[in-house]
Amino acid sequence: MHTATVPTTTVPTTLPIARLSGAVRWVRSRLAPTGEDLEERAGWKIKTRWILGGWAALSAVSMLGTALTPALLTLPLVLIAFTPRIPFLILAATSVNPVAFFCVAVPRMLLGDPIHLALGRRYGRRFVPRRAQWVMQRFGLFGVALRPTSKILAAAGACRMRTSRVLAADAVGTIGLLVTIYVTTGRVIGR
């Protein structure tokens, strides 16, 4: 009787664990406090976990809005209240009066901005992409008004800019973006 032997191969189980531990080290290197940070953190009134919780809640609401997009296409104001993405803003600008459009879009777009500013302030340049740092170094508050995105706001926080000035520039830039969307959409569709 002849028996065949099947060669066995071992699958390295440490590879995914090594990648995971590398990812954990990378996150810790970005978010772990330095000695200077620990001294400053003693005076923080709002804990980082609350800021991250707010960020996670806004992200969850936005994902829910994106998932419900087919059902909410007939309700564009509700859709932009969930997730104010450019295509949804354009859709709302085509079918909603300007007062309702701005009353919903402006607060929703400004809602998460203090979170990004606070995260940038707490974690500094480690948290901010290089391109956003370059924009802040080159343009300062004008860069915030030109491009009021989460990365730029985090860079403004990392640069330790005055919060009231950054939020004012953010509001001006956001309102300017919404006016541009509303007016351009009106001209394109011939309102």
Per-residue pLDDT tens digits of the chain, which is 191 residues long: 555 555 555 545 555 566 666 666 655 555 555 555 555 555 556 677 788 888 889 899 999 999 998 998 899 999 999 999 999 999 999 988 999 999 999 999 999 888 888 888 887 777 788 888 888 888 888 988 888 888 888 888 888 888 889 999 999 999 999 999 999 988 887 66
SS3 at position 85: coil
Sign of CA pseudo-dihedral 32, 36, 37, 41: positive
Sign of CA pseudo-dihedral 113, 116, 120, 122: positive
Is residue 65 domain-resident?
Answer: yes
Is residue 139 domain-resident?
Answer: yes
pLDDT on residue 180: 93
Is residue 166 domain-resident?
Answer: yes
Report d(CA 163, CA 171) in Å as an integer: 12
Query: For residue 87, what are the domain limits?
Result: 47-189
Is residue 33 domain-resident?
Answer: no
Is residue 37 domain-resident?
Answer: no
Is residue 14 domain-resident?
Answer: no
Is residue 122 domain-resident?
Answer: yes
| Domain tally, the chain | 1
This prediction's pTM? 0.71
What tokens appear for 131 in the block?
A: 């391109």
What tokens appear for 33 in the block?
A: 């406090």
Is residue 8 domain-resident?
Answer: no
Residue reference for tokens 């924009």: 135
